[in-house]
Amino acid sequence: MSSVEEFRTEIRGWLKTHLSGSFAALRGRGGPGREHEAFAERLTWERHLAAHGWTCVGWPKEYGGRGASIAEQIAFHEEYALADAPARVNHIGEQLLGPTLVDHGTEEQKARFLPPIRAVEELWCQGYSEPGAGSDLAAVRTRATLTGGSWVIDGQKIWTSLAHEAQWCFVLARTEPGSRRHTGLSYLLVPLDQPGVEIRPIVQLTGTSEFNEVFFDGAVTDAAHVVGAPGDGWRIAMATLGYERGVSTLGQQVGFRRELDALVALARRNGAAADPDIRDRLTRAWAGLEALRAGALRGTDPSAAKLYWSHWHRDLGELALEVCGPAATLAAGAPYELDDWQRLFLFSRADTVYAGSSEIQRNIIAERVLGLPKEPRP
């Protein structure tokens, strides 16, 4: 048995043993559009993972991880999803900020911030998008000024996932007055529990609120809490985005597979599969998911991968309502109770917008991958 197979067997056995008792009720809970589900219980579960060494498996051992290879990380995320384990609450800290600090942080920053992330004692959110600067990240206007021994931050972020549950936010801010676009930005680590920070949840189409507006009005953070050099924030921010679209997306694809299999089963039960158009679309969805997995294993360009999976998942949401038929237009209960297929359809509308809109991803692919002329800017 190879080391990867041994690793897969180990995590599969651990999940079978530990995802039981009080934790058994958490199977399938949480995830996009459902982050409100059993949040406190999922936090307890994730701390249980940490206590047994199953958080941050891809981090180097010297920073508390397992030093797992890419193949082992793939095995972990796939087995976790196959076990129908609850959605992770510490994804942003573990998968985004943690690797960023490992590669670009100072030793003091690593010592301060990595242990609480690994132990799930501090949760993080991502302060990138702003009104008027969503996918066009280089247009951020939030500013920070170094005053004495602190950065003083003013501005607004939006679509900040789980900010209402987080203690810290990594914030891309303009720190050089008069700078434009990619220059003059810094990547700051900012505590949220302080005067000068206001967090307002945003009600989504699903009726839930996992995105937020975050307002900074004279908020402060220590001068040493800048990752990389001041003014080097764009490079650090792009590194974080690369981690965001890493191997953990293979676990996401297991969830997609579960949704597709359930939809095929529904189409067979309610007779929708007798429609040749529905059968064709279900077949195309299956083929698309196979291509998505093959691309992830091969290491598809992150922008191309994001563009592909987001449209695949949005299309699956549309297909789900076709399979459900006219009843899909009615709420399952008052005042606004949605079933799983309605929630999938509504939340997947955002897939092609968040984490870089499709329009921006196409420009990146055209300009940076294919070498086509850049889009004219005013």
Residues 6+ apart with CB under 8 A from 21: none
**Which residue do the tokens 């004495």 mark?**
148
**Element housing 107 (H / E):** helix 107-118
* Residue 154 β-bridge partners: 143, 217
**Buried b / exposed e along 344-364 (16+ C-beta atoms within 10 A):** bbbbbebbbbbbbbbebbebb
DSSP letter at 44 equals H
Taking 3-state DSSP, the helix, strand and coil percentages for the chain, each rounded to the nearest 5, stand at 50, 15, 35
Q: Of the listed 94, 244, 318, 375, which one is catalytic? A: 244
Q: Is 244 a catalytic residue?
A: yes
**Element housing 153 (H / E):** strand 150-157
Residue 6 Cα distances to 3, 11, 13, 16, 86, angstroms: 5, 9, 11, 15, 23
Active site residues: 244
